Chains A and B, each alone.
Chain A
């Protein structure tokens, strides 16, 4: 079967660094995406990793280790507006098509 694990909640202080982990079990793995969703809002794309290593986009970085079936999202210089839910999503090839499977999300609370 397919499964993704990520912490349900993380709390951090403004200005700090926080890491949100995601472990997955899936066949036909292709890549790992991250999405951000504010309360009442739509999920928005943050990053995608197909290869091992770190991808950096401003204050956000995403890491993937295919051999460990593990990835993380790193948020630096946390701001209050970063308080949101963060979802990892696995791109996997199943049958003759690709699917995007989302984790249940990590709620990040940034405190002043």
Chain B
């Protein structure tokens, strides 16, 4: 079974731009969660999608948004990029039976650098 894939793996943007990241979950998984990882901050939960609906949301500003498609693939969008948005963005999928807290299978992440 193929694992979670994320594209692109690396991205460089400038302040004020917007970016879209993509995540393809493990086949059969219906829950996709997004996390932001910065040095010393651990993994900060952004949001979770299940069956095309946002089921859970972290404490991030409205510049961060996402969506999920009928094939469970998910995209995350960040508008009006700020320097502090530079981070590793991780996507994780799970069966979704009890939300994002089933065992999470993480993708390799997208390393976003904002200049």
Contacts and interface: CB of A to CB of B under 8 A. Distances in A.
B104 A98 contact: no
19 contacts: A30-B101, A41-B108, A42-B107, A43-B43, A43-B106, A48-B103, A89-B43, A98-B100, A99-B99, A99-B100, A100-B33, A100-B100, A100-B101, A101-B45, A102-B42, A102-B44, A103-B42, A104-B41, A105-B42
Interface string A8-25: 100000000000000000
A91 B101 contact: yes
A80 to B, nearest CB: 22
B103 A87 contact: no
Interface of B: 4, 33, 35, 40-45, 55-56, 90, 92, 98-101, 103-109
A-side interface size class: 20 to 34
Interface in A57-112: 87, 89, 91, 97-105
